[in-house]
Amino acid sequence: MALTLASRRTTRRLAADAGLLVVAAAFVLPLAWVVLSALDPAANLRVKTPDGLTLDNFDAILTPEITFTPLLNSLVLCGGATLLTVVCAALAAYPLSRFRSRFNRPFLLTILFATSLPITAIMVPVYALFVRVDLIDTVQGTIFFFTASQLPFAIWLMKNFMDGVPKELEEAAWTDGASSLQSLLRIVLPLMGPGVAVVTVFSFVMMWGNFFVPFMLLLTPDQMPASVSVNDFFGNRGMVAYGQLAAFSLVYSTPVILLYVLIARRLGGGFALGGAVKG
Amino acid sequence: MTATAPHPRLTKAPTDPHRARGPRLPVRLLPLAPAVVLLLLFLAGPIAYCGYIAFTDLQLTGQAQESFVGLDNFTRAFGDEEFLNAVWLTLVFTVLSSLIGQNTLGLALAALMRRASKPVRTLTGGIVVTAWVLPEVVAGFLLYAFFRREGTLNAILDWLHLPSQNWLFTLPILAVSFANVWRGTAFSMLVYSAALNEIPKEITEAAEVDGAGGWRRMWHVTLPMIRRSIGTNLMLNTLQTLSVFGLIWVMTRGGPGGRSQTLPLFMYEQAFQNSLIGYGTAVALLLLLVGSLFSLVYLRLLRTEV
């Protein structure tokens, strides 16, 4: 009996392994293309063994015009917006987590509602509005909009992490005469360091990959972040150099993949995302 | 405001620092101000503005002042074949990629992972999540390369002696739907992995002892137990899918001939290629309303104790 159960388990495990490997193979093909083509001197659109290995594709794209300026733009845009998001979210989460008030519930429900609104839908009116108030084609305007679109989720996440910090420590500080701001900065935030890191990285990753917002709100090519400039490989350069396109995609994607790996464990053996998806 | 009040904490007994009401409420809510200002100016503002210009004939150029046209944009939309086409394609795209694709595949992966060996589980999870973390435009490229006539999919079909075709031309909506499955399944997989982990082992084991096979256990035991996760996951997937723009834009630009033009791309085309901001915004408002509806259902499903 024990033996049959054990062998049934083994069969089942093998079947599950086989199933997963089939899916993994299907999923890995496009990823394999980008890695192989980046190293291939004669890359085309197929997954194939490279005709020799080369770093020429990287050499060709690692110029200020193609790579460094767009990546720097991305960094300024997403870095600025992330900083603003985290500061505003930490401040906002504090009263929501620490004090009971009749505003909390409606506020949090509104935030949760806004979290799932399709931001894509409002890009046309945002464009029209930005033209009217002269924020169009400005980095700060784009940063503000990025921040606002990321804030609902960031506040929600931050509040949930903050709820995990016990109040007793803070109360002791209050007795000693610390203000709320002091206790937030000196006690609560350090204690929820990993939570702050998750919000920071998550916001950054979301914005780094976002195409539509800068595509709409920025016009000057010099200001474009990598998410938009990568499009030029198709548009302006005539014949597409697929090897270079692949190399650029790798360079552009690597930072966010590394950052994600950094926080993946926090986000979850279940991608808790602070309860936003908890059923 | 009373921001200058000296250390309110000192004047209060520390035994009751969390009183619900009182004169200090404004001070307590002060830290909310930066976030609220940003949200009002850059999120609520545009949404309200959206509700206004959707009823005007605002154009991109050559017009000093827009004028109010009432419901014209909306009646126009519902008489516009391109709009109805976009609605239909959005529906196809959402049902295929989100309801069926991401949701079912995500659940299947999560269920298989519970039985699989650790290295396979880690490998598959890693690959699927990488597809999800990639920037939208890069994902678009990879799938563009995959589906092109000279691309990998046709190479495989050739190898299997199956007929190849130009997928992005013959079945563009199917290609972008698959792309969205490729990119979005990780989310469902993670949600369902978490949900399945919360089911007590005893329950499934009891069902197994009672002789229920794999499918029956799934249908009668597991699915009912994770139904709230299913609900929230479906909502979030749908909302996500409703706002996909970059992926389709990179792969097909909505073409050929509008055959993969979902509502966000239609909205963009009307507003910018045709310079009809008012009309484009009316479409945006409809999209936003549909999104809000889903969002409300999602809130109900969560029934969260905020």
Q: Write out pLDDT tens, residues A231-244.
A: 777 655 556 778 88
What percentage of residues in chain B have a pLDDT greater than 70?
89
Peptide bond into A225 cis (omega under 30): no
> Hey, how many other C-beta atoms are within 10 angstroms of the C-beta on B132?
16
> Hey, how many other C-beta atoms are within 10 angstroms of the C-beta on B144?
22
Q: Who has greater pLDDT, B303 or A50?
A: A50
Question: Under an 8 A CB cutoff, do A121 and B299 touch?
Answer: no
CA distance from start to end of chain B: 28
The string of pLDDT tens digits covering residues A112-125 is: 888 888 889 899 88
Rounded to whole angstroms, the Cα distance separating A97 from A104 reads: 9
**Separation in Å, CA A258 to CA A115, A208, B49:** 25, 13, 39
Q: Which residues of A touch B226 (CB under 8 A)?
A: 279
Question: Under an 8 A CB cutoff, do B136 and A209 touch?
Answer: yes
pLDDT of res. A279: 31
pLDDT of res. B20: 40
Q: Is residue B10 scored above 80 in pLDDT?
A: no
Question: Under an 8 A CB cutoff, do B299 and A109 touch?
Answer: yes
The string of pLDDT tens digits covering residues B111-139 is: 999 888 999 999 999 999 999 999 999 99
pLDDT of res. B22: 39
Q: Nearest-CA distance from A41 to chain B in Å?
A: 17
Rounded to whole angstroms, the Cα distance separating B115 from B304 reads: 32
Rounded to whole angstroms, the Cα distance separating A219 from A228 reads: 10
The string of pLDDT tens digits covering residues A31-86 is: 998 998 888 887 778 887 777 788 888 888 888 888 899 999 999 999 999 999 99
Confidence of residue B63 (pLDDT cuts 50, 70, 90): low
The string of pLDDT tens digits covering residues A209-237 is: 999 999 999 998 889 999 898 877 765 55
Q: Is residue B3 scored above 50 in pLDDT?
A: no
Mutation for testing the A interface, residue in B243, B252, B289, B303 having most A CBs under 10 Å: B243
The predicted model scores a pTM of 0.86
A-to-B residue pairs, Cβ atoms closer than 8 angstroms = 326
pLDDT of res. A2: 56
ipTM associated with this complex: 0.86
Window B:69-98, CB contacts with A under 8 Å: none
Mean pLDDT score across all residues of chain A: 85
Residue carrying the six token digits 């996951």: B233
pLDDT of res. A155: 94
Q: Is residue B71 scored above 80 in pLDDT?
A: yes
* Of A9-18, A135-144, B25-34, minimum mean pLDDT range: B25-34
Window B:147-166, CB contacts with A under 8 Å: 148, 150-152, 155
3-state secondary structure of A221: helix
Confidence of residue B2 (pLDDT cuts 50, 70, 90): very low
Q: Which residues of A touch B142 (CB under 8 A)?
A: 30-31, 33-34, 249
Question: Under an 8 A CB cutoff, do A212 and B245 touch?
Answer: yes
Q: Nearest-CA distance from B120 to chain A in Å?
A: 6
pLDDT of res. A207: 93
* DSSP alpha helix (H) spans, chain A: 2-38, 56-61, 69-98, 104-115, 123-132, 139-163, 167-175, 180-183, 189-191, 193-209, 212-217, 226-229, 232-235, 242-267
* Of A16-25, B24-33, B166-175, B283-292, minimum mean pLDDT range: B24-33
Residues forming a β-bridge with B68: B56
Rounded to whole angstroms, the Cα distance separating A198 from A228 reads: 25
What average pLDDT does this structure show over A8-29? Answer: 89
The string of pLDDT tens digits covering residues A183-205 is: 888 888 888 888 899 899 989 99
What average pLDDT does this structure show over B152-164? Answer: 84
- Per-residue burial over B69-107, b if 16 or more Cβ lie within 10 Å, else e, is beeebbeebeebeebebbbebbebbbebbbeebbbebbb
Torsion-angle region of residue B211: left (phi > 0), alpha (psi -120 to 50) or beta? left
Question: Under an 8 A CB cutoff, do B42 and A107 touch?
Answer: no
pLDDT of res. A265: 72
Would an 8 Å CB–CB cutoff place B105 in contact with chain A?
Answer: yes
**Separation in Å, CA A276 to CA A63, A67, A203, B180, B303:** 41, 36, 15, 22, 11
Q: Who has greater pLDDT, B241 or A278?
A: B241
Q: Who has greater pLDDT, B15 or B36?
A: B36
pLDDT of res. A89: 96
* DSSP alpha helix (H) spans, B160-276: 167-170, 172-197, 201-209, 214-216, 223-225, 227-242, 246-252, 263-268
The string of pLDDT tens digits covering residues A139-157 is: 999 999 999 999 999 999 9
What average pLDDT does this structure show over B268-295? Answer: 89
Nearest to B306 among A105, A148, A257 (CB): A105
Taking the CA atoms of chain B, what radius of gyration do you get in angstroms?
A: 25
Instruction: Give every CB contact of residue B77 below 8 A, 6+ residues apart in sequence.
Output: B83, B279, B282, B283, B286
Q: Which residues of B touch A91 (CB under 8 A)?
A: 31-32, 34-35
Rounded to whole angstroms, the Cα distance separating A64 from A69 reads: 5
